Structure 1
Amino acid sequence: MVDKSEKVVWLARIGFATRGVVYVLLGYLALTTAKYQTVDDGAGDAFAMMAEVPVGWAVLYIAAAGLLGYALYRFSAALFDIERKGTGAKGLAHRAGYFASAVVHTGMAWTAAKFAGGARHAGEDQSARWAESALGYSLGSTALGIVGIALIIAAALQARNAVTADFMKHVSSRAPQATCWIGRAGHAARSVVFAVIGWSLLRSAWFERSSEVLSLGGAINDLRGTGWTFTLVAAGLLLFGVFSIILARYRTIPDPSPDRSFR
């Protein structure tokens, strides 16, 4: 009989695969969209493409479940330290990055579920709407600032991974030979996007304006006009998708149950 923790591990693997498909589609859209057009909503655009395939609603519900499982896995890594990062400054930085990743993928799961339920479009400015709701509370700007800082920390860690390839410590030796270089390119591109989104959240918190917040698609659009930088980031996002699909099979995933993670 499969216990709850094992179910979360399998959902995390589905989440890696789903994340991979989303980033492949996102990179493809960014590379093929005309220079002066935009990627409307990042992951939302990818989910809209999924909705067009036969029984797309079922695919999207599986995607939503997988992304939620992945988010729970990242929340477990942040709160219960299942990745064994510790409580030192470096460990806490990693855990802050995991928390930011969990928040991002929870939002992606919500968007996928909305499309699965029949939504034609999740909205171009969903991130701004969430930020506007947060700013309506007394500590909303502080919360946005914390998430922004977490995303910038995550961006720094992604950049570090691009240089050191530390992510390979969690990848089986049976993975394809090119996995390391695909992962490096993907992490480098993702670090740029995370930094742009994190900075937008900090601006939103400082000026208390939800319009400052950029979604994943908005961050990509913000890089348009940078020439080869934009092209390299878009190609890197596509490669990060390929890397994530490889991880779905070859990533070593710790038991997410907090009472077992320290055995």
Structure 2
Amino acid sequence: MVDKSEKFSQLVRVGYFSRAILYSVVGLIALTSAGKIAAGTDGAFRAIEDFPAGSLVLWLMVVGLSAYGLFRLASFAFDIENQGADTVGWAKRIGHAGSGIGHFALAYAAFEFATTEGSSGQDSAQAAASGLLSMEFGGLVLGLLGLAFFLAALDQAKKGITGNFMHRILSGAPRYTRQLGTVGYLARTIVFAIIGWSLVNAGMMSGGSEQVLTLGDAVATLAGNGAVFTLVAIGMIAFGLLSLILARYRCIPDLDPEGRIPSFRA
């Protein structure tokens, strides 16, 4: 019988696997099809929809990206990875919150493609931002979410430069994992910073909800920047491959017998 801890671990690993598909597809589209990357994240999901058993893959991504989003929100709320409650710890946890919300937005976009013939009308992230902006203090909330993405970008840069992400990877991972992580995390730093700026612009600078960007949209904004665009696209593929390795070798926090998560165990 599979206990709660094992079920939790399996679900999080599905999340990493889903992330691997998404980032790899975004990177490949950016390198091979300028027309499709102009459609941003929608272009990536359209490409996945055209895969053999594409609908099944989309549903896997709905579950996986949602699971990963929950994992990151739990890291923020309950400190399940023992980041701590000092300034640095809270900065990382707030960054995890931004990542969690972003992955829920991606999961919802995948859901739209899985249940219809594709996304239609306003981008789901922009629609959510529009609803938030109609509420009192909605602009402030968007701005704070943008700040969370900036903090996440700084954390991605630190991981890429120092390689400290290797501390939570089990032995047996491929020897090139560190190099993939460096390239992938640095590319993700740029993408997260772009997403963060789009949220601050929309929420605090009267840019409007149409300014809000998701993963593929952020990569698409770099299309006119030559070498930078190419390097970020390669970085997206590298991060997708890293995520595939993490799906197998990431050390996932254990649940205790009551189904709760104790302190992180490496």
Answer whether TM exceeds 0.5 for this pair: yes
Structure-2-length-normalised TM-score: 0.92
Which residue does 1:188 correspond to in 2?
186
Which residue does 1:16 correspond to in 2?
16
| 1:12 match: secondary structure | helix
Distance 1:123 1:2 in 2: 42
Distance 1:243 1:102 in 2: 18
Distance 1:53 1:231 in 2: 24
Query: What is the aligned-residue identity percentage?
Result: 39
Distance 1:122 1:180 in 2: 39
1:96 and 2:94 matched = yes
Residue 122 of structure 1 deviates from its aligned partner by: 5.2
- 1:182-230 CA distances to partner (integer Å, 9 max, x unpaired)? 0110000000000011011111111232122222222112212211111
Alignment of 1:72-91 (within 5 A): 72-91=70-89
Indicate conservation of the 8 Å contact 2:40/2:218, yes or no: no
Which residue does 1:169 correspond to in 2?
167
Alignment of 1:129-148 (within 5 A): 129-148=127-146
Distance 1:22 1:37 in 2: 14
1:204 and 2:202 matched = yes
Which residue does 1:26 correspond to in 2?
26
Indicate conservation of the 8 Å contact 1:8/1:69, yes or no: no
Which residue does 1:106 correspond to in 2?
104
Distance 1:38 1:16 in 2: 22
Which residue does 2:251 correspond to in 1?
252
- Code of the aligned partner of 1:213: V
- 1:75-95 CA distances to partner (integer Å, 9 max, x unpaired)? 111110010011000100110
Higher mean C-alpha displacement, 2-11 vs 62-71: 2-11
| 1:225 match: secondary structure | coil
Label 1:164 to 1:81 Cα distance change in 2 as closer, same or farther (>3 A).
Answer: same
Distance 1:122 1:245 in 2: 30
Structure-1-length-normalised TM-score: 0.93
Q: Which runs of 5+ in 2 are unaligned?
A: none
Distance 2:36 2:21 in 1: 22
Label 1:211 to 1:9 Cα distance change in 2 as closer, same or farther (>3 A).
Answer: same
Q: Which runs of 5+ in 1 are unaligned?
A: none
Label 1:200 to 1:249 Cα distance change in 2 as closer, same or farther (>3 A).
Answer: same
Indicate conservation of the 8 Å contact 1:155/1:195, yes or no: yes
Kindly report the root-mean-square deviation, in angstroms, between the aligned alpha carbons of the 2 structures.
1.9
Residue 160 of structure 1 deviates from its aligned partner by: 0.9
Structure 1 counterpart of 2:67, from 66, 69, 74 = 69
Distance 2:241 2:25 in 1: 10
| 1:175 match: secondary structure | coil
Residue 124 of structure 1 deviates from its aligned partner by: 6.2
Distance 2:55 2:216 in 1: 22
Indicate conservation of the 8 Å contact 1:75/1:99, yes or no: yes
Which residue does 1:214 correspond to in 2?
213
Which residue does 2:114 correspond to in 1?
116
| 2:112 match: secondary structure | helix
Distance 1:83 1:232 in 2: 31
Label 1:114 to 1:242 Cα distance change in 2 as closer, same or farther (>3 A).
Answer: same
Label 1:256 to 1:157 Cα distance change in 2 as closer, same or farther (>3 A).
Answer: farther
Indicate conservation of the 8 Å contact 1:41/1:125, yes or no: no
Indicate conservation of the 8 Å contact 1:163/1:184, yes or no: yes
Distance 1:201 1:12 in 2: 27
Indicate conservation of the 8 Å contact 1:128/1:213, yes or no: yes
- 1:86-145 CA distances to partner (integer Å, 9 max, x unpaired)? 100010011011111110111111111221113323556332222111101102111101
Distance 1:146 1:256 in 2: 31
Distance 2:91 2:245 in 1: 26
